[in-house]
Amino acid sequence: MNILITGSSSGFGKLTTETLLREGYTVFATMIGVTTFSKQAIEELVLLAQETKGTLHIIELDVTAEASINNAINQIYKKVDHIDVLINNAGIGGTGWTEAFPESQFTKIFDVNVFGVQRMMRAVLPQMRKRKEGLIINLSSIQGRVVFPYSGIYTATKFAVEGLTESYHYELSPLGIDVVMVQPGGFKTNFESVQSGPHDQKRLESYGEMINAPDQIWGEPNEEKDFLPHPQPVPDAIVQLIEMTKGTRPLRTTVDPLLNALGTSAINEAALKAQQDLATHLDW
């Protein structure tokens, strides 16, 4: 089975790539900075691949650039004739006073987290539709359902991913393609360390003595958070989805041992019932 995953150099992406290799899959691990800042991650993945039954291909791919995506897809199709699974994992975040994020930051985060998902799906779907076969797994978050203060920009992107994924789920199911999402909670990865705070320093300073309030929720920069669980349950959930029979995969899979899906599961259940009632009423 041929699996394409974005954002494979760190966090959930790297761990998922490693897990898939151990399971024996052919993995097209894509990332930016293949010849620069991702070199160490690549070396580690290559060494691991040599010890597993899986097959690893490393490809440069920037989800914000259509030309980069097209080039990567063309490279993949020179090696295999189809992609079975797309995992949209690439993502960036930002915490702090939401007002202090200028439009340029908002645009960048949406470009990666939302528009990047759409670009990747458009790149693989023609081939999947032709085969009437395929699985797309989008990485959402519990923050696509519940709101934590001082993370408005990231939350907004994940709410968008939820709506986009659910629309595709309904549209493509009759065509033999499953589109689902995973909602991770908080885990000990490098994600927080690579997040950026607000760039509008003048607006930020206007909050005065409240300027550091976000730290009460998210902790101080570079603070070690040993209470966070190891992220292995996320790639395990992804593998489980891959191995399920087509048409039986749930739209949402929540992986949140830290909070036990508090709030998220209640919203998921209410939304599912609301959608089913709506579909029945409109005779979809």
**Per the CATH hierarchy, to which homologous superfamily does domain 2-282 belong?**
NAD(P)-binding Rossmann-like Domain (3.40.50.720)
Q: Is 196 a catalytic residue?
A: no
Tell me how far CA of residue 132 lies from CA of 125, 128, 276, in angstroms: 10, 6, 25
Domain boundaries, the chain: 2-282
Residue 265 host element (H or E): helix 264-282
Which position among 14, 151, 158, 168 bears the catalytic label?
A: 158
Kindly list the strands in the beta sheet with 26-31, ordered across the sheet, starting from the edge strand earlier in the chain: 55-60, 26-31, 2-5, 85-88, 134-139, 177-184, 252-255
Contacts of 51 by beta carbon, 8 Å cutoff, 6+ apart: none
The reply to whether 167 belongs to the active site is no
User: What does the mean pLDDT of the chain come to?
Assistant: 96
Per-residue pLDDT tens over the stretch 105-116? 999 999 999 999
**How far apart (Å, rounded) are the C-alpha atoms in residues 120 and 171?**
17
Q: What is the pLDDT of residues 186-229, one digit of tens each?
A: 999 876 656 789 999 999 999 999 999 999 888 876 677 788 99
Which residue in the list 9, 10, 38, 141 is annotated as catalytic?
A: 9
pTM of the model: 0.96
* Active-site residue flag, 10: no
What pLDDT does residue 223 have?
74
Higher pLDDT, 218 or 160: 160
* Catalytic site residue from 10, 140, 141, 151: 140
**Tokens describing residue 276:** 């089913």
Answer yes or no: is pLDDT of 122 > 90.
yes
Cα(87)–Cα(118) distance, rounded to whole angstroms? 12
Among this protein's residues, is 158 annotated catalytic?
yes
